[in-house]
């Protein structure tokens, strides 16, 4: 998915999350890009996406007026800005002036204007005043007497005013026509990069392998590196990432990152439908300073959630599927040590103590205060199964061996015999799920196994192997592959 700003039509549709003519400005921040926003500067088309909406009031004269608004995000998408009159006025033109990009840009825009330049000469300074003719490798001035002076280096310069169209902060300017004098209201909406959020969960486990229970709670981590403060906004967090099209823009300044902690509301907001996504509207107004990370309530603590602790080992082959039977004897022959991974499984169901949409984020899992590991959770709907890989188990190890392989071309079949040995250095018995890929062809069956096989999916099988404390156990199985007469085989 393109990580740049959404097209104007989509921005206009999605901004409808806020109530019309709301007195409180609204800010809708979409999930995704959290880590990229934390590490980036405020740039139009950069990572992160948010929609802003507010009501502005301007005192207008009858006829033509020019009105400006500063304090805007440096990452604002200028093409998304819409100022809609709520009265009789007409917006005839709109311009977005980016903030100063630096001294070089300022000097180039000041060509043709009067300038005063100081040059260091030994221990003293010489001052020159004139009209700036060129700026690049030094400055070129036309002096009052007509001479042209080239300054290869200079200590400082002074301009009487900023060049036309240059501002010290991102600024919007509108040409407005009013039929009568007086105050009139307008609805302002725009999209900006530099804002993102993700969920942050903590799971506290209790009970052993067969009596696992979990307490789960979640917060939203909202980052603002858009280049502007958002004060007193009605904040909505949307769990979803709409597709966006490319709209590159110039680079902008960004302030240093600072950390801030928001005050938690007594209860997490409910999940509301928002188009194809879920929205979480904060119950009170929020303030998001530029360069801050806020922690806000998201999912109330759920107690006594049924869970399953699992140990798992697998040979890694990826999801590649062969276009024809793989009869090469060297295929599927990795041997040696492979890790045993600890995982946590639970169902996001009301019967298990949950049953709510869980936005994507990071899950930290603890057991009696000890960190078992961290895992990423994707957007998870209600009633979905969740599996989190937490880390490599120190006291369990596995070793895989391919014992035999044979091909019967005439019978259009092949057989392979695999053995997996699991060692347990723990003081208690453990059950390890051995997941075996069956990558040679799509038509297969387990014809013999020392442990009952479970068909995991179209190209893998699983075996639950009981391993005694301080001991080892082995699973050995034979798989037979077959193919039809019209399937080519090299």
Predicted confidence at residue 201, as pLDDT, reads 96
pLDDT, residue 332, reads 73
pLDDT at 319: 73
SS (H, E, C) the chain: CCCCCCCHHHHHHHHHHCCCCCCCCEEEEEECCHHHHHCCCCCCCCCCCEEEEEEEEEEECCEEEEEEECCCCCCECHHHCEEEECCCCEEEEEEEECECCCHHHHHHHCCCCEEEEEEEECCEEEEEEEEEEEEECEEEEECCCCCEEEECCCCEEEECCCCCCCECCCEEEEEEEECCCEEEEEEEEEEECCEEEEEEEEEEEECCCCCCEEEEEEEEEEEECCCCCEEEEEEEEEECCCCCCCCCCCCCCCCCCCCCCCCCCCCCCCEEEECCEEEEECCCCEEECCCEEEEEEEEEEEEEEECEEEEEEECCCCCCCCCCCCCCCCCCCCCEEEEEEEEEEEECCHHHCCCCCECCEEEEEEECCEEEEEEEECCECCCCEEEEEEEEEEEEEEEEEEEEEEEECCCCEEEEEEEEEEEECCCCCEEEEEEEECCCCCCEEEEEECCCEEEEECCEEEEEEEECCCCEEEEEEEEEEECCCCCCCC
The pLDDT value given to residue 15: 37
Domain definitions of the chain by residue range: 1-96+168-201+220-301, 103-159, 316-340+395-482
Non-local (6+) Cβ contacts of 292 within 8 A are 223, 224, 258, 259, 260
Q: Which of 163, 151, 158, 156 is nearest to 109 (CA)?
A: 163
pLDDT at res. 142: 94
d(CA 243, CA 422): 46
Tens place of pLDDT per residue across the chain (490 aa): 333 323 333 333 333 333 333 479 999 999 988 999 999 888 888 999 999 999 999 999 999 999 999 889 989 999 999 999 999 999 999 998 876 667 887 888 889 999 999 998 888 889 999 999 999 888 999 999 999 999 988 888 998 887 776 666 788 999 999 999 999 999 999 999 999 999 999 999 998 877 899 999 999 999 999 999 999 999 999 986 665 554 444 333 222 223 333 333 445 665 555 445 688 999 889 999 999 999 999 988 999 999 999 999 998 777 778 899 999 988 876 668 999 999 999 999 988 778 888 999 999 999 988 999 999 999 898 899 999 999 999 999 999 999 999 999 999 999 999 999 999 999 999 999 999 999 899 999 999 999 999 877 788 999 999 999 999 999 999 999 999 999 999 7
- CATH topology for 103-159 is SH3 type barrels. (2.30.30)
The class level of CATH for 316-340+395-482 reads mainly beta
Does the predicted model carry a pTM greater than 0.75? Answer: no
Order of strands across the sheet with 90-97?
63-69, 171-178, 90-97
- What integer pLDDT is reported at residue 210 of this predicted model? 74
Residue appearing with tokens 């700003």: 5
- The count of other CB atoms within 10 Å of the CB of residue 374 is 14
């Amino acid at each position: 998915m393109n990580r740049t700003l959404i097209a104007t039509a989509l921005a206009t549709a999605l901004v409808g999350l806020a109530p019309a003519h709301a007195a409180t400005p609204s800010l809708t921040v979409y999930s995704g890009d959290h880590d990229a926003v934390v590490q980036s500067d405020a740039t139009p088309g950069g990572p992160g996406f948010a929609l802003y909406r507010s009501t502005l009031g301007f005192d207008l004269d009858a006829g033509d007026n020019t009105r400006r608004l500063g304090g805007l995000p440096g990452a604002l998408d200028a093409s998304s800005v819409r100022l809609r009159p709520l009265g009789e006025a007409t917006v005839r033109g709109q311009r977005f002036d980016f903030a100063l990009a630096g001294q070089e840009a300022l000097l180039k825009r000041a060509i043709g204007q009067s300038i005063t330049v100081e040059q260091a000469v030994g221990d003293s300074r010489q001052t020159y005043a004139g009209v700036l003719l060129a700026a690049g490798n030094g400055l070129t001035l036309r002096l009052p007497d007509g001479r042209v002076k080239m300054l290869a280096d200079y200590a400082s310069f002074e301009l009487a005013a900023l060049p036309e169209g240059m501002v010290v902060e991102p600024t919007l300017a509108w040409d407005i026509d009013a039929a009568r004098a007086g105050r009139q209201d307008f609805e302002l909406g725009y999209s900006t990069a530099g804002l993102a959020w993700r969920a942050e969960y903590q799971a506290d486990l209790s009970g052993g392998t067969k009596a696992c229970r979990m307490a789960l709670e979640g917060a939203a981590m909202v980052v603002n590196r858009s280049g502007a403060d958002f004060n007193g906004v009605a904040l909505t967090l949307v769990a979803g990432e709409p597709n966006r099209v490319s709209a590159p823009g110039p680079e902008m300044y960004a302030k240093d990152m600072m950390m801030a902690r928001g005050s938690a509301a007594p209860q997490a907001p409910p999940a509301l439908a928002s188009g194809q996504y879920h929205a979480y509207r904060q119950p009170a107004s929020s303030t998001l300073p530029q360069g801050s990370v806020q922690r806000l309530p998201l999912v109330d603590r759920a107690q006594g959630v049924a869970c399953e602790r699992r140990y798992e080992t697998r040979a890694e082959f990826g999801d590649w599927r062969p276009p024809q039977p793989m009869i090469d004897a060297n295929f599927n022959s990795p041997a040696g040590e492979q890790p045993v991974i600890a995982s946590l499984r639970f169902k996001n169901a009301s019967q298990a103590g949950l049953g709510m949409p869980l936005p994507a984020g990071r899950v930290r899992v603890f057991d009696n205060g000890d960190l078992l590991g961290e895992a990423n959770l994707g957007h998870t709907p209600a009633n979905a199964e969740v599996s989190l890989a937490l880390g490599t188990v120190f006291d369990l190890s596995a070793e895989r061996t391919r014992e035999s392989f044979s091909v019967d071309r005439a019978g259009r079949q092949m057989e392979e015999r695999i053995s997996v040995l699991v060692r347990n250095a723990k003081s208690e018995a453990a059950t390890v799920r051995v997941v075996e890929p069956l990558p040679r062809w799509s038509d297969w069956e387990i014809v013999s196994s020392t442990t009952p096989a479970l068909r995991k999916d179209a190209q893998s099988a699983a075996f639950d192997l009981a391993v005694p404390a301080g001991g080892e156990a082995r699973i050995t199985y034979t798989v037979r592959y077959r193919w039809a007469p019209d399937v080519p085989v090299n």
